[in-house]
Amino acid sequence: MQVGIIGTGYVGIVTGSCLSEMGHLVTCFDVDQKKIDIYSSGKSAIYEPGLEEILQKNIAAKRLSFTTNIENLIENSELIFLCVGTPPLSDGSADLSQVESAVRNIAEHTPAGSYKIIVEKSTVPVGTHKRLKTITKLYNKGKSKFDFVVNSEFLKEGSAVYDFLNPDRIVIGLETQKAREKMMELYQNFETQKVLVDPSSAEIIKYASNSFLALKISFINMVADLCEKAGGDIEKVADGIGFDKRIGRAFLNAGVGYGGSCFPKDVKAFINVLDESSVDSSMLKSTDQFNANRYKKIIETLEEELWILKNKDIAVWGLAFKAETDDIRESPSIKIVSDLLAKQVNIRLYDPKARENFEALFPAGKQISYFNNPMDALKNTEALIILTDWKEFSEIQPEKIYNQMKLPVIVDGRNIFKESTMKELGFRYFPIGKGEMLEYMRNSK
Ligand SMILES: NC(=O)c1ccc[n+]([C@@H]2O[C@H](COP(=O)([O-])OP(=O)(O)OC[C@H]3O[C@@H](n4cnc5c(N)ncnc54)[C@H](O)[C@@H]3O)[C@@H](O)[C@H]2O)c1
């Protein structure tokens, strides 16, 4: 099928590349000429495992192309996916100006007499499809026929290509038989469960899913705090809870709180949607508030151990909001580094992929240094903070870490090392959610 993608950010480029991998003819459009140039040359503008390979393969096979000419895209597409950003406004609601601008652009450039299906892939509040419908009709002056489909995306950065090609389910909100046939044809090679619903339900499903996952993370972080205070091991507690099939073990890893471009903004936007509909949103407000304060735990632990942080040399491993991505949007590292800066700490930073993005926010200077490998960042430091669970960190031998540091203090926001080993080696090791417990249980990981 002929598919158009509007917006080649994380979701757009993965959607476009994967649909071309499935044999569709895909044209991608973005207002950012720089991005289009990078993708046209077969390079990826983001780090995402497996992306560059399928990008190059499908460009070579002439199934995937890029343009800044909207007419070109419209001409080449039966289905047009909206993959533009929906960032938060200051009140937490979703800024829909990119969506409005994209759909207006489509409406104005669609030739009279043609039929197009506009597919919402961006995450938007319930009812947005109705707005899109009226704005399209207005700007197209009723010359063409449009159908609207809601097909929210559930991929996770870091495994986005895999997730897109192997989804747990595909949610499709639609209103017409024709749109249904086209969407079923588009996804015919996906053997997964397809959840066909009305557009409003589809819009609610996306926000509700992300809010539920965020709630699960905040819940396990609350239980982790109890483990630390009352005695207990959060990993074993999470196993005990999560192996119940009704609950599930996923998203029960305690840590420094959720970040990224989706959970924080989607929880806030869903609160806004609930409030506007006069539905009690207090449960989600607590989740949001709990998570907003979560990062403070790291600094508090450090101050408890080192007392005054001023002029101390502290390494931070991991700047991306999660492993296997270069995305730092809403990453806990941003708040933690800001706090360390305010406390006049000398900060030594390392991340395998996110350095460039982080450096744009926090340029190297008197207090901030960047390093090309984790061991150099550690040299002579008085503490190490671990904020992302990159595999390369857990593969480093703790003895080497010990020898490289001035003081063997680690605050591990991701629980990547075995506590008993670290203690045996002489570390002052502070993981998340590990309270006093019997020694033989500690060693049984
Ligand atoms: N990133 C994720 O993990 C993820 C997962 C699922 C859903 N989503 C949702 O998908 C949407 C896109 O997210 P993202 O992370 O890819 O955003 P992004 O900010 O990375 O990308 C948005 C892209 O749209 C382009 N753009 C903006 N206005 C445009 C316009 N009028 N016409 C054409 N292009 C335009 C921008 O230049 C940018 O390249 C959001 O609604 C987000 O909530 C994101």
The low-confidence residues of the chain, meaning pLDDT below 50, are: 445
Q: Cα(229)–Cα(70) distance, rounded to whole angstroms? A: 58
> Structural domain boundaries of the chain?
2-197, 214-442
Distance 335 CA to ligand 1 centre (A): 23
CB distance 208 to 171 below 8 Å: no
- The residue whose CB lies within 8 Å of the most ligand 1 atoms, and thus the one to mutate among 8, 83, 164, 258, is 83
Distance 100 CA to ligand 1 centre (A): 13
CB distance 144 to 80 below 8 Å: no
For the entire predicted model, the pTM comes to 0.94
Residues with CB under 6 A from ligand 1: 6-12, 29-32, 35, 83-86, 98, 101-102, 122-123, 153, 155, 157, 261-262
Write down the pLDDT at residue 441.
57
Instruction: Decide which of 3.20.10.10, 3.30.70.60, 3.40.50.720, 3.40.50.1000 is the CATH code for 214-442.
Output: 3.40.50.720
Distance 13 CA to ligand 1 centre (A): 9
Helix axes 128-140, 199-230, angle to 10 degrees: 140
Q: Helix (H) and strand (E) counts for the chain?
A: 20, 14
Which residue's C-alpha comes closest to atom 21 of ligand 1?
Answer: 9
The closest-lying atom of ligand 1 relative to the alpha carbon of residue 6 is: 33
Distance 444 CA to ligand 1 centre (A): 44
The residues that are catalytic are 262
The closest-lying atom of ligand 1 relative to the alpha carbon of residue 261 is: 1
Do 2-197 and 214-442 fold alike per CATH? Answer: yes
Q: Cα(13)–Cα(129) distance, rounded to whole angstroms? A: 22
Distance 336 CA to ligand 1 centre (A): 26
The CATH H-level superfamily of 2-197 is: NAD(P)-binding Rossmann-like Domain (3.40.50.720)
Which residue's C-alpha comes closest to atom 31 of ligand 1?
Answer: 102
What sign results for the dihedral spanned by CA atoms 354, 356, 358, 363? positive
The closest-lying atom of ligand 1 relative to the alpha carbon of residue 160 is: 3
Q: Cα(416)–Cα(393) distance, rounded to whole angstroms? A: 8
Residue 374's DSSP bridge partners are none
Write down the pLDDT at residue 436.
78
- The residue whose CB lies within 8 Å of the most ligand 1 atoms, and thus the one to mutate among 5, 6, 8, 11, is 11
Which residue's C-alpha comes closest to atom 32 of ligand 1?
Answer: 102
Distance 322 CA to ligand 1 centre (A): 18
